[in-house]
Amino acid sequence: MHSSSTSGSRPCLNSNKLSLSLKALALTSLIFPFHAINASKATYQFDSVVNQNKLTVVSVANPSAVFEDGDYFHGFGYDLVRNYANNLNVQLEFKTVDDNATALKMVATGKANFAMTTANTQTIETKKLTSLPATCGDLNSLEKNGLNTELNWVFKHADDPLTQAASGFICKSKQNGSLNQLASFYNRNVVKEEFWDDIQSDLSKRMPIYKASFKKTAQQYDLDWHLLAAIGYQESYLKPTSVSPTGVRGLMMLTNSTAKAMGVNDRSNATQSIQGGAKYYDLMLSRYDDIPFPDRNWYALAAYNMGPGTVNQIQKRIKAQGKNPNNWVNFYAYLDRNKASNGQYRQAVQYVTRIRAYLEHIKTTPQLVNI
């Protein structure tokens, strides 16, 4: 079992976020009526979550729920859970297990506040547990993006305020469009199925050639060499002689000015290009060190692609709209909403989502991981 904890620093219980979550209870009472008003409050998970400032969630790792990336997690399901913890203004302790049965048992025995599973309703009810669909009925958002429509959140009691607040949160996410945007970013179809054989062939042939350089450079900057390889593949298909019409060149496709700033003399030299690309990516990461992972990676990739100045301009526009500019869903939504009229935004959306897809492919393909 693997776990990770993220902070949602909560100085007091009367925060705006918690207030919003409590308001959601009234909305969800139509879905889960308070039919156990006289039940002991000690049975409620909500009380312990608030008092301990920690939400413990268990999940089975799968493409729709969560992808384990070293010390961090990402994925549609994980990000939705993380946003719920932020909404409650509590820390998230996230754990992964091998199967649905183990996840359900942890909920039943109180070792987790809820589970994210793909278990069917009959199995869940047999365990005397209750479940919420992770879509509030918006199956289309998951289906069109290749995500499992059976994804659900499983709780111990239907009348627990934690369950009801979760239902309200999911439905609000559906209504404000953030659920659809999250599903869009984690689109499993971002690379068409018929292209994967060629991609696998390319990576199998070229990654071994540059593995040593990727690993050595990644270690120098405390980066994941698989991520550097995914960036290199998106940039040049791992071809050091690549040149774009705009003059960007090399395996990591550096501009002449960026190459000079990173100490690269020969952009066509694969080792120098990897070194320069890693140094520049690390620099981009440092610009967003106030943003937690995995979002920091997505912001850094966007900045690598279209420049930190453009990223900062977009953040200012998002902030002017009264939204959090450091929330990736908000940033991605802005790009996605305006990509039809802005080629740079369209390219950035494609750039970040494809690198994410390549990274997941590399890390889940034994022939590539063990190269």
Active site residues: 235
Residues 180/141, Cβ–Cβ less than 8 Å = yes
